[in-house]
């Protein structure tokens, strides 16, 4: 899964929060195109041909481990190079991935990307009692009549979710997180 652009520009020189300025390439969200879905707070993984993979980011020129499958070319600005590693059947660090896979309803486990969420992931902000894989884009949100800086901020203040990911019919995606506005869950 490639890096997804943010909806609004960030104040990198100040509080690192977003401001009311759309990132180039994300204008289609404000124009009302695409579908808004819930962004779950977990860690990204994917299923391909029945196998589970975890996301791995070979940052800043770091050499990826054997078996690394790049999701895109390295970003020349940020140094991020996201890709995939096969989840091991025995490695201790892959325990939660295996549990999430085992705990997820089998009809959801088609090829695609997922968010691993649960008690041992990111402090469990989703308040789950077991590890599960949540399909990306599965939870379509009720939308306001238009998305603006202030309607997105208000939505995230009220909804108490990590964020929103918009999916365009042509495959493009745009995201925003509550913490980008300084909203704490």
* Tens digits of residue pLDDT in 66-86: 999 999 888 887 888 999 999
CA distance 7 to 21: 8
Helix (H, G, I), strand (E, B) or coil at 27: helix
Q: In which band, very low, low, confident or very high, does the pLDDT at 3 lie, cut at 50, 70 and 90?
A: confident
Residues listed for the chain: 185
| pLDDT over threshold 80, residue 144 | no
Q: Domains of the chain: which residue ranges?
A: 5-40+139-181, 43-134
CA distance 45 to 118: 14
CA distance 174 to 59: 22
Read out DSSP for 71-138? SSPPPTTT---EEEEEPPSS-GGGHHHHHHHHHS-GGG-SSEEEEEESTTSTT-TT--SS-EEEETT-
Contact yes or no for 160/184 (Cβ under 8 A): no
* Tens digits of residue pLDDT in 92-119: 999 999 999 999 876 667 899 999 999 9
Which percentage of the chain shows pLDDT scores above 90? Answer: 81
């Amino acid at each position: 899964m490639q890096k997804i652009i943010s909806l609004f520009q960030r104040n990198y020189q100040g509080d690192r929060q977003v401001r009311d300025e759309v990132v180039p390439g994300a204008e289609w969200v404000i124009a009302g195109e695409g579908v808004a879905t819930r962004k779950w707070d977990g860690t990204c993984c994917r299923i391909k041909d029945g196998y589970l993979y975890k996301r791995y980011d070979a940052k800043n020129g770091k050499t990826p481990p054997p078996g690394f499958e790049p999701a895109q070319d390295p970003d020349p600005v940020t140094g991020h190079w996201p890709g995939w590693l096969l989840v091991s059947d025995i490695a201790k660090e892959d325990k939660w991935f295996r549990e999430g896979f085992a705990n997820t309803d089998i009809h959801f486990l088609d090829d695609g990307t997922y968010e691993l969420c649960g008690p041992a992931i990111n402090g469990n902000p989703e308040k789950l009692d077991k590890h599960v894989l949540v399909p990306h884009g599965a939870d379509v949100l009720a939308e306001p009549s238009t998305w603006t800086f202030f309607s997105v901020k208000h939505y995230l203040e009220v909804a108490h979710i990590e964020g929103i990911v918009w999916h365009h019919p042509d495959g493009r995606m745009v995201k925003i997180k509550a913490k980008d506005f300084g909203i704490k869950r």
